[in-house]
Structure 1
């Protein structure tokens, strides 16, 4: 396994959850921008698609969480990431795979623990009131003397 979360062409989402390469769909097209002589002949732009809603490799709870969190980015349950910033197709493939991995990890991450409300301590309440009294005294001293 490499740092970017690949395992024999698949994507490691988290421990125990791997999206196999057979569930990933790759599309290549010509990229805009600089490229010299090869710009019109090389399909360096990469689109990587993954069917989040219909994937058997994601457990049900993670799939529901991912579909909820990625709702705005999904088209018919499919998440698509695009990479075209590099001139070589290989580097764009690596960039697209990394983006997909990051998106899936973020979408399947556990919710943070619920915040337990706390009350201010007696000392902090006293300090706050004392500071207000001092501030009021300073402002009173700035005003004109009463005659």
Structure 2
């Protein structure tokens, strides 16, 4: 069984978990586009994948990505290239990038208070824009 690896030997995903469907690509391409199924639709079930650690699965499912279905299946449509093999490779690279984004937990935000100088800069900017707007209203254009 061949496995697609996410970051060398850290998170292998077996080919059995990937569902590939080859369809005809849309857009220009002449006669070739009407005869050959070069576009690839790659599906990966994030919600039920035994290869993903629970923390990574939760982070990927929490992402608001339009390619993720309500059932937790990640769908990639690759049709940038003219050959089926290149589109297949492109879809797997995009899946790799998506999973890699879920590998790292985001750093928790540390609440800080604005400095006195930053407060004064903000208030000065507000005063400046206020005087500019006041100046516009008091003009007599006749």
Normalised TM-score (structure 1)? 0.69
Q: Identify if the C-alpha distance between structure 1 residues 93 and 32 changes in structure 2 by more than 3 Å, giving closer, same or farther.
A: same
Tell whether the 8 Å contact from 1:11 to 1:97 is kept in structure 2 after alignment: no
Q: Which residue of 2 aligns with 1:88?
A: 83
Q: Specify the SS of the correspondent of 2:6.
A: strand
Instruction: Specify which of 19, 22, 43 is matched with residue 25 of structure 1.
Output: 19
Q: Runs (4+) of structure 1 moved beyond 4 Å?
A: 123-130
Q: Which residue of 2 aligns with 1:12?
A: 6
What are structure 2's unaligned runs of at least 5 residues? 132-142
RMSD between superposed Cα atoms in Å = 3.2
Tell whether the 8 Å contact from 1:11 to 1:21 is kept in structure 2 after alignment: no
Q: Specify the SS of the correspondent of 2:55.
A: helix
Q: Identify if the C-alpha distance between structure 1 residues 34 and 127 changes in structure 2 by more than 3 Å, giving closer, same or farther.
A: closer
Q: Identify if the C-alpha distance between structure 1 residues 18 and 126 changes in structure 2 by more than 3 Å, giving closer, same or farther.
A: same
Normalised TM-score (structure 2)? 0.71
Alignment of 1:107-146 (within 5 A): 107-120=102-115
Q: Which residue of 2 aligns with 1:5?
A: none
